[in-house]
């Protein structure tokens, strides 16, 4: 009974302490998630502020001082981005703002780039960030924000905890409006968060709407005295703790009774269990680990010895099985990794190969083992034998080889010496890896960097030359010469803008962040804007652009800005492939519930063998036209991504008499008619 009590009481204390520690751990983890969530919200808001400040449409509306269109555009941005506040400021005053219950001038005059501000209702806050727009003549500031009540609901959905936003000991907002936090509990919650986690879970819990909770306090903004209380429901932990306590008490009671009863049985023969133990030890000595040691004895010491012997048998058997499994696993591992492993003897004969080697050189192991390494790994023309190109131990070297089918491979080879040889006559091990594709990627990356450098340098050089002429000789230039220089500047800006837009979209697609905001848009406006952007290039290369005027009633479900980018890219592609004084046509037709748009030029056409790679990134046509060789090969891949994101299709069609015909489709919007 004394032993039972001595064991039971510490276990009871341990269970209670463990339950409290587990609840505290859950609360700490939820607090970390809360901190990370708030940091992520601030980072997302900062990114949204930067992206909003860099939108060309916003810049254009601010330049034109079109306040009505600016309000509509900001409302569209706010809805699309899931924001509660978008504000544009200039010189400390609000130009336009979308959001309710805010002091716009206070935010505009604030020097802080991020923070919190009170809602006019007094029961909510805004979290906001700002970005400066410096590309215009006078600086503007763009402020975006989100209501903390929305963030609290998202936090509750993320962590399952209750959240209470407190400012100056007053509850501003709860993540669950159905649960109210009495003001009298605020001081208790703040003091409870400072209690040691060694305190009993029942002592730390507090009642709230028929449930028990423990809480933690997170300081959100010390300047505004804003705190966030997160409350964890511990009903289940308390129930489990109470159940374990009852079970342990009953178990201790039964153990005490059983020990008292077993104390009566003292008279058992000792010799038979000892003989059985000797026989079991003899079986172990002869390697028999299959027979279990099952000896029954009333003598505690003999039973313990039998149990220990059985544990040793099980451990030895398990270790033996584990060693055998690890051996099989190592063999399987060598055969499954991409890198190939082989061993050589003193005569450079191959004694072992893994499946990776067979895959790299496309030969079966039976065709490799016992052959000299120079007969299997053939050196390329002009190179010494493979065995003479091996690196020093612990180093790597790239070696080119030729396969039996004539193909070449670039291998990364490393070597290790086996001293002394074990279980074979092999004295060297080679690890080879096929780096042919890696080398190709390095070359492709180098070509891309060189290409993008050229694509930026050429228009920038033209812009620099034109701007220097304007600065140095503006007083002596005629109106025609000034116009030509300004047209040259405009063309350079258009080329750079198109290139940057395609790079941004390509990066967005690659990162998986590419999204479109679909809404009914008049196709006539899209076509007009694209033509206006590309008209300087059309005139520069003395081309003609003809398009059928769409009816005002034709609407498409599309993202206006990105659909304009589709037409700009297709027109830019047509300009590159059109001959001098060529004709470019844009036509459209309605097919069922879709609008089909075609961009046709008089270029040389696209051969069938090149069409499969036409809409891939960094793809260029094999052509002699100098203009067609310009660019990074991103335009058509961006067109394909935007069209498919808008539930349309894109392709190229044969054009009678030659030329290129690129087409794409868009779903018709509500109210469209033929």
The string of pLDDT tens digits covering residues 8-27 is: 677 767 776 777 777 778 77
pLDDT interval class at 447 (50, 70, 90) = low
Tell me which of 313-322, 376-385, 559-568 is least confident: 313-322
Question: What's the pLDDT at 674?
Answer: 45
- Residue partners of 297: CB distance under 8 A and separation at least 6: 268, 270, 273, 303, 306
Conformation bin of residue 426: beta by default, left when phi > 0, alpha when psi is -120 to 50? beta
- Which residue is listed with tokens 């394909």? 640
Q: What is the 3-state secondary structure (H, E, C) of 372-431?
A: EHHHHCEECCCCCCHHHHCCCECCEEEEEEECCCCCEEEEEEEEEECCCCCCCCCCEEEE
- Check residues 42 and 196 and name the one with the higher pLDDT: 42
The pLDDT of residue 200 is 67
β-pair type (428-434, 408-417): antiparallel
Is the pLDDT score of 463 beyond 50? yes
What are the phi and psi torsion angles at 411 (to 5°)?
-110, 145
Burial of residue 344 (CB within 10 Å: 0-12, 13-18, 19+) is buried
Q: Is the pLDDT of residue 160 over 90?
A: no
Q: What is the pLDDT of residue 343?
A: 85
pLDDT class of 665 with cuts at 50, 70, 90: very high
- Rounded average pLDDT over 447-465: 58
Question: What average pLDDT does the segment 353-362 reach?
Answer: 82
Give me the pLDDT at residue 83, please: 86
Which tops the pLDDT comparison, 269 or 3? 3
CA–CA distance, 616 with 564 (Å, rounded to integer): 20
Residue 666, pLDDT score: 93
Per mean pLDDT, which range of 53-67, 194-208, 614-628, 631-645 is the poorest? Answer: 614-628
Q: Pick the more confident residue, 118 or 648.
A: 648
Task: Give 494's pLDDT tier (boundaries 50, 70, 90).
Answer: low
pLDDT, tens digit (0-9, with 9 covering 90-100), for 62-82: 888 888 888 888 888 888 888
Predicted confidence at residue 628, as pLDDT, reads 47
**pLDDT tens sequence across 535-546:** 877 887 888 999
- Is 50 exceeded by the pLDDT of residue 399? yes
pLDDT tens-digit map of 564-609: 888 888 888 888 888 888 899 999 999 888 999 999 988 776 666 6
Kindly indicate the confidence band of residue 667, based on its pLDDT and cuts at 50, 70 and 90.
Answer: very high
What digits encode the pLDDT tens for the residues 312-341? 878 887 887 887 787 777 767 666 666 788
- Predicted local distance difference test score (pLDDT) of residue 78: 84
pLDDT over 70 percentage in the chain: 76
| E strand or H helix at 216 | strand 212-221
pLDDT at 153 over 80: yes
Flag whether pLDDT at 122 surpasses 70.
Answer: no
Span 214-227, mean pLDDT? 78
Which residues are within 8 A (CB) of 284 and not within 5 positions of it... i.e. 6 or more apart? 313, 316
Question: Is the pLDDT score of 268 beyond 70?
Answer: no
Tokens of 213: 């909770």
H, E, C per residue of 294-332: CCCCCCHHHHHHHHHHHHHHHHHHHHHHHHHHHHHHHHH
- Region 657-673: mean pLDDT is 80
Could you give the 3-state DSSP secondary structure of residue 471? helix
In this predicted structure, the answer to whether residue 33 has a pLDDT above a threshold of 70 is yes
Phi-psi region of 542 (alpha: psi -120 to 50; beta: other; left: phi over 0): left
């Amino acid at each position: 009974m004394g032993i039972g009590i001595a064991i039971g009481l510490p276990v009871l204390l341990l269970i209670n302490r463990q339950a409290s520690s587990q609840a505290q751990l859950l609360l700490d983890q939820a607090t970390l998630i809360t901190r990370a969530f708030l940091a992520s919200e601030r980072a997302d808001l900062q990114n949204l502020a930067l992206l909003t400040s860099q939108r060309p449409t916003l810049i254009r509306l601010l330049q034109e001082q079109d306040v009505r269109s600016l309000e509509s555009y900001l409302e569209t941005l706010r809805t699309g981005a899931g924001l509660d506040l978008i504000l544009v400021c200039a010189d400390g005053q609000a130009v336009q703002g979308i959001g309710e219950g805010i002091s716009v001038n206070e935010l505009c005059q604030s020097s802080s780039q991020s923070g919190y501000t009170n809602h006019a209702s007094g029961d909510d806050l805004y979290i906001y960030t700002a970005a400066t727009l410096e590309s215009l003549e006078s600086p503007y500031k763009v402020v975006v924000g989100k209501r903390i009540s929305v963030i609290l609901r998202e936090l509750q959905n993320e962590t399952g905890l209750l959240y209470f936003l407190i400012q100056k000991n007053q509850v501003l907002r709860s993540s669950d409006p159905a649960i109210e936090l009495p003001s009298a509990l605020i001081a208790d919650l703040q003091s409870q968060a400072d209690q040691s986690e060694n305190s009993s879970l029942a002592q730390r819990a507090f009642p709230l709407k028929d449930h028990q909770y423990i809480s933690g306090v997170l300081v959100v903004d010390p300047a505004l005295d804003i705190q966030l209380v997160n409350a964890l429901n511990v009903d289940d932990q308390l129930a489990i703790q109470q159940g374990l306590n009852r079970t342990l008490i009953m178990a201790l009671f039964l153990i005490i009774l059983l020990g008292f009863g077993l104390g009566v049985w003292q008279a058992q023969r000792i010799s038979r269990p000892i003989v059985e133990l000797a026989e079991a030890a003899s079986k172990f000595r002869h390697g028999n680990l299959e027979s279990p040691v099952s000896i029954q004895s009333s003598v505690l010491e003999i039973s313990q010895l039998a149990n220990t012997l059985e544990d040793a048998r099980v451990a030895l058997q398990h270790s033996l099985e584990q060693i055998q499994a690890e051996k099989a696993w190592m063999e399987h591992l060598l055969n499954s990794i991409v890198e190939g492993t082989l061993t050589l003897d003193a005569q450079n004969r191959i004694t072992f190969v893994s499946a990776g080697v067979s895959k790299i050189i496309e030969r079966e192991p039976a065709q490799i083992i016992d052959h000299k390494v120079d007969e299997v790994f053939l050196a390329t023309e002009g190179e010494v034998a493979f065995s003479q190109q091996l690196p020093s131990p612990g180093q790597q070297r790239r070696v080119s080889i030729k396969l039996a089918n004539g193909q070449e491979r670039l291998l990364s080879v490393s070597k290790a010496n086996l001293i002394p040889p074990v279980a074979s006559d092999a004295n060297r091990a080679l690890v080879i890896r096929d780096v042919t594709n890696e080398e190709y990627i390095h070359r492709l990356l180098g070509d891309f960097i060189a290409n993008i450098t050229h694509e930026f340098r050429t228009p920038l050089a033209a812009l620099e030359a034109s701007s220097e002429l304007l600065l140095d000789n503006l007083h002596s230039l005629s109106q025609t010469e000034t116009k030509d220089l300004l047209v040259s500047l405009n063309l350079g800006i258009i080329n750079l803008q198109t290139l940057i837009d395609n790079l941004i979209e390509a990066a967005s697609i690659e990162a998986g962040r590419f999204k479109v905001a679909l809404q009914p848009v008049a196709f006539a406006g899209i076509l007009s804007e694209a033509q206006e952007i590309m008209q300087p290039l059309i005139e520069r290369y003395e081309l003609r652009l003809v398009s059928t005027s769409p009816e005002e009633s034709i609407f498409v479900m599309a993202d206006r800005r990105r659909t304009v980018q589709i037409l700009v890219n297709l027109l830019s592609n047509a300009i590159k492939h059109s001959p001098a004084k060529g004709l470019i046509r844009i036509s459209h037709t309605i097919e069922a519930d879709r609008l089909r748009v075609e961009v046709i030029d008089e270029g040389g056409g696209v051969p069938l063998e090149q069409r499969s790679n036409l809409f891939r990134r960094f793809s260029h046509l094999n052509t002699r036209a100098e203009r067609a060789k310009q660019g990074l090969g991103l335009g058509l891949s961006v067109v394909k991504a935007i069209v498919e994101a808008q539930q349309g299709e894109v392709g190229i069609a044969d054009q009678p008499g030659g030329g290129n015909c690129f087409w794409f489709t868009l779903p018709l919007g509500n109210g469209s008619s033929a």
